[in-house]
Amino acid sequence: MPTDLPKTYDPAAVEAQAYQTWLDEKCFAADAAAPGEGYCIVIPPPNVTGALHLGHAINATLQDILIRMHRMAGYNTVWIPGIDHAGIATQAVVEKQLKEQENKTRHDVGREGKGGLVERIWAWKQQYGDRIINQLKRLGCSCDWDRTRFTLDEMCARAVRHTFFKLFKDGFIYRGKRLVNWDIFLQTSISDDEIYKETVKTSMWHIAYPIENRDGDGSASESKTGTGTVSPRPAQMIVATTRPETMLGDTAVAVHSQDPRWNWAIGKHVRLPLTGRLIPIIADDILVDPKFGTGVVKVTPAHDPNDYAVWQRRQPKPGQPAVSGVEPIDLINILTPDGKINENGGPYAGLKRDAARKKIVEDLTAQGLLVKEEPHEAQVGHSDRSKTPIEPYLSDQWFVHMAPLAEPALEVVRNGTIKFYPERHAQQYLAWLGEKRDWPISRQLWWGHRIPVWMFLWNGPHADLPSDSQQVRMELPYLTNEQNQTIAVQVMRPGGKGDIFIGVCVLPGNPEIESLIEKNGGRQDPDVLDTWFSSALWPHSTLGWPDSTPDLDKWYPTSVLLTGRDIITLWVARMVMTGMYNMGFAPSSGTPGEGGGGGTTEQCSPHPNPPPEYQGRGSRQEVGRALGIPFYDVAINPTILDGKGERMSKSKGNGVDPVDVIDTHGADALRFTLATMATETQDVRMPVKKDAQGRNTSDKFDLGRNFCTKLWNASKFAISNFESQIPVPVDESNWSLADHWIISRFNRAVAESDAALKVYRFDVYAKACYDFFWRDFCDWYVEAAKPAMKDPKRAGQTANVLATVLDGSLRLMHPIIPFITETIWWRLNEVRPERELPGRLEGSGNTPRLIKAKWPTVGAFCEDAEHVFPKLQEIIVAIRNVRNDYKVDVKKPVKVSINAPGEEATQKVLENRELIEILATCRLIAVAPAVAPPADSIRVSAAGAELFIEGVIDPEAEKQRGGKRREELTKLIATLIARLNNAGYIAKAPPELVQQTKDQLAAAEAELQKLDQ
RNA sequence: GGGCCAUUAGCUCAGUUGGCUAGAGCGCAGGUAUCACACACCUGAGGUCACAGGUUCGAGCCCUGUAUGGCCCACCA
């Protein structure tokens, strides 16, 4: 393999070669048995819906930085990649494609089998899954690809079924009728998080509901106001609605109990127009705001979340008689799953909801019951998947009971066992989880983990209903005792009324039991699980759970989770819950579900006996391990927005494919730039432009590209110096000031990077690399080294320092720009294998691959060099400054005399005379503690010294220059005097600060005085 | 309505427990084909730190309020 560096940096060539080498040599492969403390990250699995964009790229880049850094630092490191099957999202795109390309629905092609929808989605998965993996590879991700998981693969499926079984057996899963968000296009329920609001122009219809028996035997005979005047009782109640068709499902009208206009009517009835049903007038002080509108609200429990809550409030508590005044109300579903009015809608049955609305408004108008219609803008929830309006819909769904699972997950964040970076994001986690709302986990989809429960309709009399699981088992006499150990059973009464089912959950790996059950009339639930159910298990399922594997033992809990803030609740919180549930925490007092218990005693968890209290003694690691948390740290990466501040998305067309950026700028440039943007501020603005080839990219990445080019050129230069050079033993006593300085600066950069990475400040790390390498190393050290390398007496030591600092820089920067550093490393190894400065810059050496080299340690600082060198920089800049101001020809040296403050300073200047002369293009004529100003010279101050520069006379420029400086000094002196005149400052500020101010004042006054001479 | 965040140079952003004349990149102005690099080098201009109060010897930073923008949650029938 040729290692010499071509003149121009070509990212594409460099990247392809380096990545192939890492793959060929299995540099990413991890082994749990290898030595070193475990360090593990599981990737947030991208949705297989489509291709990755820059949001994924920043997330992956930051993970790779951590992975590579820890791998170099000697940890036994693994990064587990994978992809999410993304249930509803993926099914939706494939169904859409099916519709567009073949004009078919999923019902036309069927679920399973050849040409079925599931097969088609797998084909999609193959295509996009591969594309995603390739994108990650182009980014340079050092994932252990042999461990790539898919949330729907066998390994994940097994974990899903075990978890479901465990939850089912523990009574944490139940089936119930719930009002869900129904997507009538996809015919599935979707979660709240998959809904977006859209403003829709519609109307507010005011409808009259005639009151029955208005003056009849109600409890209140008259409606009285505070003044005792009698209001006439109206004959009808006016309700306002944006959805008149739902009145077909009204089962009450509600008023406020303290509303004098209406409280007399409580207990009476209204005659529902069109259908003629009699429905009660009820009091509900939660639903009704008496100050709003007419004070009357129609109640449609089956089609409105608030109304459903009313229905729930009026349900009798089990075992308790109904309370007077809060009698239960009816629940009438008026919709079919595809959004048409059902048989409960009488004459409107069969109409689509919009048609029904139109017809109902017409009929109401005809009957004179439509009081008014006014324009209205409503926020209507739409399905993020099908982009159609969602319908609140009553259906049978599976739920996870959250309270017992959420509590421990809250506690580990409260007590700091799990830490968020930045910390404030923990609040969102705590707030959401604190609500402990039950988690609806069933989806009426075909793409996903099928719910592993087989259902039997209970045909016997209710009185004979088995009261415990033992008796339920009697209903399955065909199962042996042994087989009985692999099932769990529940009696289910969804909605409290109607049919009763017996549900049997079977542990995975028992197909013979499944078929036995099916032969005996059991039917597997057709629904699949919410996609987050499988992602929730990601950290332990990918490591082999439910088996007790070496991987789990080595790498669980994982070290850190890096993700975007939008899924803190959906994903992070659920991983913590299921992780603790499966890996450590045993809920002691969960609320058992109906018919819970029984089943198997199989132990899923390799940590069977966690301490009962979370505030365990011991290290965070010990506690975390015992509790089974999935990770210790959660680092939130910023969201990437486009130039207008809008979120990137495919549908908006403002998304950027990282591969496009890699093609225009290079992967290292992309990574470096993204890292600099990973600040603690929430969002990153990324102006997007389209280049000539139609690629979406951004000038922002010039930053990273320029840096890489700089690194390439500087390395090429340094290495070219070693090609014909014979190394000499390191001899620190012959180092120059610049040598000491650059090594010390390097060590500072390492220390800064370590500290930054520990708290996930990738921007600080990137900046430390940038400032050190470009500003210190290239701008100053390399320039200082040039003359030294030409001097045979000094070349040897200079080469030692130059080579070793380059070596250290490559190691320091490898995690952020891996391709280019690796490539340069190979050449450096070849040309200059010996690189080590004992005590100053260690751990160097010619490890064949940089990816496996040692992460730099912080060597000794040189305070003296770090103090003196900047003063020389100041002097050089001051001279350059004058040269520029006076427009001196760039090649023409100027004569400079330096009046240095004291013998030591004089000495330092003389020692570094060459540095000053070359970098400032000048000749030092005289350097002493009291140099007389040469005639016709310009006087400037720098680093406490006075410089006299000859041969640049330009009276006009000089006048301007002096005037400007005088102004600055006068202003500064005024500030300093004011500060020193402040008695409080003298009394209370630290003495060294006061002294500093005095020194500063003296210096400024002295300079001003000389300027005036 | 509740909560979180932001507001610093023309633009995009840093600024750590309050303490030197508030920084970077891009852009801008002037200069430079110098043998690593014009994707570069040298120099410079540019800021009332959103606004109003307060605490303090001292505030970009802490407190209170206001304005503007963004996000999350709950949402009026």
- A945-950 vs A937-942, strand pairing mode: antiparallel
| CA–C1' nearest nucleotide, residue A975 | B21
Q: Report CA(A665)–C1'(B15) in Å, whole number.
A: 29
pLDDT number for residue A940: 85
pLDDT, tens digit (0-9, with 9 covering 90-100), for A281-330: 888 888 887 777 788 889 988 888 888 888 878 877 655 666 666 778 88
- Rounded to an integer, what is the distance from CA A908 to the centroid of its chain? 52
Residue A102 CA: distances (Å) to CA of A48, A94, A117, A375, A471: 22, 11, 13, 40, 51
Q: How many CA atoms lie within 13 A of A637 on its CB side?
A: 25
Q: Which residue has its C-alpha nearest to nucleotide B18's C1'? A: A989
Q: Report CA(A1009)–C1'(B18) in Å, whole number.
A: 34
Rounded distance, CA A836 to CA A729, Å?
Answer: 10
Q: Report CA(A919)–C1'(B29) in Å, whole number.
A: 24
What are the residues facing A647 on neighbouring strands? A641
- Cα–Cα–Cα angle for A353, A358, A364, nearest 5°? 120
- Rounded to an integer, what is the distance from CA A81 to the centroid of its chain? 16
pLDDT number for residue A24: 96
Six-digit token pair at A806? 């380059």
Q: Which residues of A542-577 are buried (b: 16+ CB within 10 A; e: fewer)?
A: bbbbbeebebbebbbbbbbbbbbbebbbbbbbbbbb
| CA–C1' nearest nucleotide, residue A424 | B4
Q: Report CA(A434)–C1'(B5) in Å, whole number.
A: 21
Q: Report CA(A385)–C1'(B67) in Å, whole number.
A: 38
pLDDT number for residue A598: 31
Rounded distance, CA A495 to CA A682, Å?
Answer: 43
Q: Report CA(A30)–C1'(B11) in Å, whole number.
A: 45
| CA–C1' nearest nucleotide, residue A984 | B57
| CA–C1' nearest nucleotide, residue A431 | B73
| CA–C1' nearest nucleotide, residue A990 | B19
Q: Report CA(A644)–C1'(B69) in Å, whole number.
A: 12
Rounded distance, CA A181 to CA A413, Å?
Answer: 31
Rounded distance, CA A303 to CA A167, Å?
Answer: 30
Q: Which residue has its C-alpha nearest to nucleotide B76's C1'? A: A292
Q: Report CA(A452)–C1'(B2) in Å, whole number.
A: 40
Nucleotides of B under 7 A from a protein CB: 3-7, 12-15, 19-21, 25-26, 30-32, 34, 36-37, 39-44, 56-58, 69-77
Name the percent of chain A in helix, strand, coil, to the closest 5.
45, 20, 35
| CA–C1' nearest nucleotide, residue A381 | B75
Look up the pTM and report it: 0.87
- Left if phi > 0, otherwise alpha if psi is -120 to 50, otherwise beta: which for A498? left
pLDDT number for residue A76: 96
Q: Report CA(A424)–C1'(B64) in Å, whole number.
A: 22
- Left if phi > 0, otherwise alpha if psi is -120 to 50, otherwise beta: which for A51? beta
Q: How many CA atoms lie within 13 A of A670 on its CB side?
A: 32
| CA–C1' nearest nucleotide, residue A994 | B19
Six-digit token pair at A961? 């220059």
pLDDT number for residue A226: 41
| CA–C1' nearest nucleotide, residue A709 | B39
Q: Report CA(A855)–C1'(B16) in Å, whole number.
A: 25
Six-digit token pair at A996? 């500093």
Q: Which residue has its C-alpha nearest to nucleotide B32's C1'? A: A890
Q: Report CA(A971)–C1'(B50) in Å, whole number.
A: 27
Q: Which residue has its C-alpha nearest to nucleotide B69's C1'? A: A645
| CA–C1' nearest nucleotide, residue A996 | B20
| CA–C1' nearest nucleotide, residue A764 | B14
| CA–C1' nearest nucleotide, residue A687 | B12
| CA–C1' nearest nucleotide, residue A775 | B24
Q: Which residue has its C-alpha nearest to nucleotide B38's C1'? A: A706
**Residues lower than pLDDT 50 in chain A:** 217-230, 495-496, 587-616
Q: Report CA(A425)–C1'(B19) in Å, whole number.
A: 31
pLDDT, tens digit (0-9, with 9 covering 90-100), for A216-257: 544 444 444 444 444 567 788 888 888 888 888 888 888 888
Residue A496 CA: distances (Å) to CA of A465, A491, A520, A594, A832: 14, 12, 26, 12, 80
Q: Which residue has its C-alpha nearest to nucleotide B75's C1'? A: A379
Q: What is the DSSP string of A794-853?
A: HHHHHHHHHHHHHHHHHHHHTTTSHHHHHHHHHHHHHH-----BTTTB-S-S--S-GGGS
Q: Which residue has its C-alpha nearest to nucleotide B5's C1'? A: A682
Q: Report CA(A776)–C1'(B20) in Å, whole number.
A: 22
Q: Which residue has its C-alpha nearest to nucleotide B37's C1'? A: A713
- Residues A730, A838: contact at Cβ < 8 Å? yes
Q: Report CA(A803)–C1'(B49) in Å, whole number.
A: 43
Q: Report CA(A147)–C1'(B59) in Å, whole number.
A: 53
Q: What is the DSSP string of A371-387?
A: EEEEEEEEEEEEETTT-
| CA–C1' nearest nucleotide, residue A759 | B16
Q: Report CA(A760)–C1'(B59) in Å, whole number.
A: 28
User: A658 exposed, middle or buried (CB, 10 Å; 0-12, 13-18, 19+)?
Assistant: buried
